[in-house]
């Protein structure tokens, strides 16, 4: 294994990590943009459509921890190649499905495979970049998720409206296949000590024992994922059904907001490098998320057109926390535990995220969008005092 690589190779590894994560995000979150067609063309209710599009998220939730253990044991490259390859295969199966049951099954299995990228791609970045650059580089890597969702928002609604649900499902399959090839060719496992090396004793210690630091970050991240999934899942539907936008126009706006969200993640990561803290910016994001979701609820209730601009702002703010928490966990857990720690982190997040479409779909159906937006603001409010700023280690 290489112990030193060039700067160019580091950035190439970062780019491939982003592509792998974007493919996962496209598969797991892009199906949410099929809701208008699942309702209009196939006659599903909003709750039923919410259950179908939650299948990839449920699949991811079920296997994140297992993939994390695999990364700790077998390395990042092997996990990325196998996981993205299986995601591509499941994408093909979903596109060829002839019933809602088969579609749901392939979406579930595809989500289980797509979970491989979450810990593995992040570990590649943390492993090959120095601490003083990790906030920026992990912010760039975390761009992959909103970019994947943005690409899906730009393409899935239009293709589904013109050619049907099956045609739109070929897109995540193709993207995952491209990611598989790139991971096979480019990715190199980061260097780490052998488990038998005496110097690795401290890194082998369980970071969850004797400290609530990681548990508190997990809790904060779960709370902050609720408004994120709310605007991701229902933003497009809200624009179409409540604001009268066409699927193409709504998809374009959502794609723009995802791009802005991606840039926001870079800014948050760069800020964390500058202030030498991951958790102070994380708390600032939680405060901003609560304020923005309440503002969205109020402007929507009043029928003001500025609510659309607030939705864009909410989309940017609610994704800014992910890279900060992810980087902090990877740094604290170390090379022998970060796979499992990141797996636990994302499992908890996706458990919460998988409940958002059906639960908030029901809330929207009964009570409407304004109250649903207001209820999601409670989650970041609770998160603010839980951020363990005082326990944070100083960044070198």
Q: Identify the sign of the CA torsion 27, 59, 264, 85.
A: negative
Does 197 have pLDDT greater than 60? no
Q: Is residue 243 part of a domain?
A: yes
Instruction: Tell me the per-residue pLDDT of 366-393, one tens digit each, with 9 for 90 and over.
Output: 999 999 999 999 999 999 999 998 877 7
Q: Is residue 19 part of a domain?
A: yes
Does 198 have pLDDT greater than 70? no
Q: Is residue 204 part of a domain?
A: no
Could you tell me the pLDDT band of residue 79, with boundaries at 50, 70 and 90? very high
**What does the pLDDT average to over 207-228?**
88
Does 204 have pLDDT greater than 80? no
Q: What is the pLDDT of residue 262?
A: 79
Residues 110 and 60: beta-carbon distance below 8 Å: no
Q: Is residue 177 part of a domain?
A: yes
Q: How many CA atoms lie within 13 A of 157 on its CB side?
A: 29
Could you tell me the pLDDT band of residue 395, with boundaries at 50, 70 and 90? low
DSSP state of 98: -
Q: What are phi and psi of 286, to 5 degrees?
A: -60, -45
Range of the domain at 115: 7-189+209-389
Q: Is residue 350 part of a domain?
A: yes
Q: Is residue 396 part of a domain?
A: no
Instruction: Tell me the per-residue pLDDT of 11-48, one tens digit each, with 9 for 90 and over.
Output: 899 999 999 999 999 998 888 888 888 887 777 888 78
Q: Is residue 195 part of a domain?
A: no
Average pLDDT, the chain: 86
- In the three-class reduction of DSSP (H, G, I as helix; E, B as strand; rest coil), residue 189 is classed as coil
Distance CA 396, CA 393 (A): 9
- Name which residue leads in pLDDT, 192 or 327: 327
- In the three-class reduction of DSSP (H, G, I as helix; E, B as strand; rest coil), residue 332 is classed as helix
Q: What is the pLDDT of residue 274?
A: 87
Tally of domains in the chain = 1
Instruction: Tell me the per-residue pLDDT of 265-282, one tens digit each, with 9 for 90 and over.
Output: 888 888 888 888 889 999
* Number of C-beta neighbours around residue 195 at 10 A: 11
Q: Is residue 197 part of a domain?
A: no
Q: Which of 359-388 are b and which e, b meaning 16 or more Cβ less than 10 Å from the residue's Cβ?
A: bbbebbeeeebbebbbbbbebbbebbebbb
Cα angle 103-53-177, degrees, rounded to a multiple of 5: 65
Residues 356 and 91: beta-carbon distance below 8 Å: no
- Give the whole-number percent of the chain exceeding pLDDT 70: 95
**What does the pLDDT average to over 1-20?**
83
Q: What are phi and psi of 367, to 5 degrees?
A: -110, -15
Q: What is the pLDDT of residue 326?
A: 80
Q: Which of 231-265 are b and which e, b meaning 16 or more Cβ less than 10 Å from the residue's Cβ?
A: bbbbbbbbbbbbeebebeebbbbbbebbbbbbbbb
Q: Identify the sign of the CA torsion 90, 104, 153, 187.
A: negative
Does 365 have pLDDT greater than 80? yes
Does 223 have pLDDT greater than 90? yes
Residues 307 and 300: beta-carbon distance below 8 Å: yes
Q: What is the pLDDT of residue 124?
A: 86
**What does the pLDDT average to over 218-240?**
90
Residues in the chain: 396
Distance CA 48, CA 378 (A): 26
Poorest-pLDDT segment among 120-129, 191-200, 322-331: 191-200
Instruction: Tell me the per-residue pLDDT of 48-70, one tens digit each, with 9 for 90 and over.
Output: 888 888 899 888 888 988 898 89
Instruction: Tell me the per-residue pLDDT of 96-155, one tens digit each, with 9 for 90 and over.
Output: 988 889 999 999 999 999 999 987 888 888 888 877 777 888 888 878 877 888 888 888
Q: What is the dihedral of CA 309, 315, 318, 320, to 10 degrees?
A: -110
Output the domain CATH number for residue 91. Answer: 1.20.1250.20
Q: What is the pLDDT of residue 202?
A: 63
């Amino acid at each position: 294994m290489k112990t030193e690589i060039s700067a160019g190779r580091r950035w190439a590894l970062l780019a491939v990590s982003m592509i792998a994560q974007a493919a996962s995000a496209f598969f797991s979150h892009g199906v949410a943009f099929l809701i208008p067609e699942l309702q209009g063309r196939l006659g599903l209710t909003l709750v039923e459509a919410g259950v179908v599009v939650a299948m990839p998220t449920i699949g991811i939730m079920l296997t994140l921890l297992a993939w994390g253990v695999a990364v700790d044991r077998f390395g990042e490259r092997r996990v990325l190649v196998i996981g993205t390859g299986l995601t591509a295969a499941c994408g093909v199966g979903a596109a060829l499905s002839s019933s809602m049951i088969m579609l749901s099954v392939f979406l579930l299995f595809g989500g289980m495979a797509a979970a491989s990228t979450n810990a593995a791609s992040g570990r590649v970045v943390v492993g090959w970049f120095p601490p003083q650059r990790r906030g920026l580089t992990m912010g760039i890597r975390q761009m992959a998720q909103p970019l994947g969702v943005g690409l899906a928002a730009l393409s899935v609604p239009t293709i589904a409206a013109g050619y049907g649900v099956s045609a739109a499902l070929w897109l995540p399959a193709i993207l995952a296949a491209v990611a598989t090839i790139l991971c096979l060719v480019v990715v190199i496992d980061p260097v780490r000590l052998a488990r038998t090396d005496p110097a690795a004793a401290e890194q082998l210690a369980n970071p969850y024992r004797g400290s609530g630091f990681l548990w508190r970050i997990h809790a904060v991240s779960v709370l902050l994922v609720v408004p994120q999934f709310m605007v991701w899942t229902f933003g497009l539907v809200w624009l179409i059904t409540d604001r009268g936008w066409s699927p193409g126009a709504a998809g374009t706006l959502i794609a723009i907001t995802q791009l802005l969200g991606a840039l926001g993640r870079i800014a948050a990561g760069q800020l964390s490098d500058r202030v030498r803290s991951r958790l102070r910016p994380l708390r600032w994001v939680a405060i901003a998320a609560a304020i923005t979701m309440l503002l969205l609820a109020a402007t929507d209730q009043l029928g003001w057109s500025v609510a659309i601009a607030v939705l864009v702002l909410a989309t940017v703010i609610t994704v800014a926390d992910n890279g900060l928490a992810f980087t902090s966990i990877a740094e604290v857990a170390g090379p022998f535990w970060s796979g499992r720690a990141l797996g636990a982190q994302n499992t908890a997040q996706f458990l919460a995220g998988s409940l958002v479409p059906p639960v908030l779909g029901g809330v929207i159906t009964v009570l409407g969008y304004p109250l649903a937006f207001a209820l999601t603001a409670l989650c970041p409010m609770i998160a603010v005092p839980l951020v363990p700023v005082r326990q944070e280690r100083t960044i070198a």
